[in-house]
Amino acid sequence: MVVVVVGGVAAAPLVLLISLCDCLSPRPLYTNHWAVRIPSGGGGEADRLAAKYGFVNLGQIGSLKDHYHFHHSKTFKRSTVYSRGIHAFIHLDSKVEWVEQQVIKRRVKRHAKKNFSLHFTDPEWSSMWYIHCEEKNKCRSEMNVLGAWQKGYTGRNVVVTILDDGIERMHPDLMQNYDPLASYDVNGNDDDPTPRYDVSNENKHGTRCAGEVAAIANNSHCAVGIAYNANIGGIRMLDGYVTDITEAQSLSIRPNHIDIYSASWGPDDDGKTVDGPGALTRQALERGIRTGRNGLGSIFIWASGNGGRRGDHCSCDGYTNSIYTISISSATEKGNKPWYLEECASTLATTYSSGEYYDRKIVTTDLRQGCTDGHTGTSVSAPMMAGCIALVLEANPLLTWRDVQHILVKTARPVHLKAPDWKVNAAGHKVSHLYGFGLVDAEAMVIEAENWRTVPTHHVCRKTSNRQVRFIRPNQLLRVVIST
């Protein structure tokens, strides 16, 4: 209440009712980034001070001399209170002139907002049933790729490479997004991953996978990639003898440039092969998750396998059941199990693909600057997931390899996927050996990524057994009990 004095006489009390929302600004949202001014010593001194107080120096801020961008990975990415701890004492250091923890600022573009356009000039856009549905009663689109696009995520500045038989880098639907630094010809030991052409078009696989990820949008050619602004590369490594060196070299090419490696291959899916990475390839995978993406960890995505009709089991595939890879399954448009599908506990999630000959398949780029509507198998699912994860990494480039797996598990949904083995696990998630945790939801993933709190680093517990090695005879039943 305010008393107004008029001419020395107290007037009637004037009550001012002020809305809290009018006088109080929103609480600041603090990040784990700091701006620091260090007037002498240059970048070397900035690095030293960053390390002393637990920060990482991300470099000079633009052209502002003596101003450095510090990042602290052990504090909250988003918080309504400023950060406290030993690192906060940096402002008392005599070498530091000024420090400021960064807060998120709301900025609105000053133009008339337009509705997100669903119009694409690509001639096969109308056939891409797995991305959009114009007739709701005739198709499904629960992967919610459009929802991620509507939030502005199209894979920009994310680098994906396809480990396969090469990619047609001059394809009109790939050329604009082609990244030579994400490419190599391991078979030919040169920098050109262009496939070897023959009359059978045998080496079409990699080009088809690449189009799923990053086919250019609105260029009046073929289709639209899930991450149509991502950088796409190819490692030509399947058109020749494949050795442990071949695989290890392919999985470790420029790991600080390439974000996502997509592999739609593995051991023979004949139902009688147990195989996996050799010693060098295991090292490449382990090194990738430890040091790739500048310490955040490379993302390795693997197709779960096409040996279902032969009784093959993806648990016998050491690539898909590695903890360092994301193993991806397939489902038909109607949510049925495809005839080729393998099942195992290592499958993490599912994308759409095809099933019987009458089911609709996937549209993508093809050899000789072509386009196909016949792409199929779990080969479809790995690059489709790579595209979705490219959207996620654009939403939050600081996600670790484990963050990506956690986000995928948290957001995947069973929806209409038909399986007899859906169960709720101890963490409360529905899970199936056919489909993992369910169908990928690209929109839900990018929403989670925007405000994700980094999960703890990978921790390994080892215990040796004093039991002797025993041979397993054919048709013998083996029972193993592990106490934890």
468 falls in which pLDDT band (50, 70, 90)? confident
Per-residue model confidence as pLDDT tens digits over 1-36: 333 333 443 344 333 333 333 333 456 778 888 889
Select which of 164, 239, 259, 366 is catalytic: 164
pLDDT higher than threshold 50 for residue 406: yes
Phi and psi for 105 in degrees, rounded to 5? -110, 130
Phi and psi for 135 in degrees, rounded to 5? -120, 95
The domains of the chain are located at: 28-103, 125-450
Select which of 250, 379, 381, 432 is catalytic: 379
Taking Cα atoms as reference points, which of 111, 108, 160 lies closest to residue 299?
Answer: 160
Reply yes or no on whether 205 is catalytic.
Answer: yes
What integer pLDDT is reported at residue 330 of this predicted model?
95
Select which of 171, 205, 313, 375 is catalytic: 205
Tokens in use for 289? 């998750």
CA–CA distance, 285 with 305 (Å, rounded to integer): 19
Reply yes or no on whether 164 is catalytic.
Answer: yes
Sign of the dihedral through C-alpha 19, 22, 24, 26 = positive
What integer pLDDT is reported at residue 133 of this predicted model?
73
CA–CA distance, 156 with 228 (Å, rounded to integer): 8
Are the beta carbons of 210 and 157 closer than 8 angstroms?
no
What is the rounded average pLDDT of the residues 464-472?
76
244 falls in which pLDDT band (50, 70, 90)? confident
What integer pLDDT is reported at residue 111 of this predicted model?
37
CATH number of 125-450: 3.40.50.200
Task: Supply the mean pLDDT for the chain.
Answer: 87
What integer pLDDT is reported at residue 248 of this predicted model?
87
More confident call, 249 vs 294: 294
Please tell me the pTM assigned to this model: 0.74
pLDDT higher than threshold 50 for residue 362: yes
Per-residue model confidence as pLDDT tens digits over 373-399: 988 888 999 999 999 999 999 999 999
CA–CA distance, 93 with 376 (Å, rounded to integer): 61
Taking Cα atoms as reference points, which of 436, 411, 412 lies closest to residue 423?
Answer: 436
What is the rounded average pLDDT of the residues 35-64?
89
Tokens in use for 62? 């633009």
Are the beta carbons of 104 and 29 closer than 8 angstroms?
yes
CA–CA distance, 399 with 154 (Å, rounded to integer): 17
Q: What percent of the chain has pLDDT over 70?
A: 89
Reply yes or no on whether 379 is catalytic.
Answer: yes
What integer pLDDT is reported at residue 117 of this predicted model?
55
Tokens in use for 235? 């490692």
CA–CA distance, 19 with 21 (Å, rounded to integer): 5
* Cβ neighbours of 47 (radius 10 Å): 16
CATH number of 28-103: 3.30.70.850
Q: CB pairs under 8 A, 24+ apart, for 418-423?
A: 418/335, 418/336, 418/337, 419/337
pLDDT higher than threshold 90 for residue 437: yes
What integer pLDDT is reported at residue 125 of this predicted model?
93
Sign of the dihedral through C-alpha 445, 446, 451, 453 = positive
pLDDT higher than threshold 70 for residue 401: yes
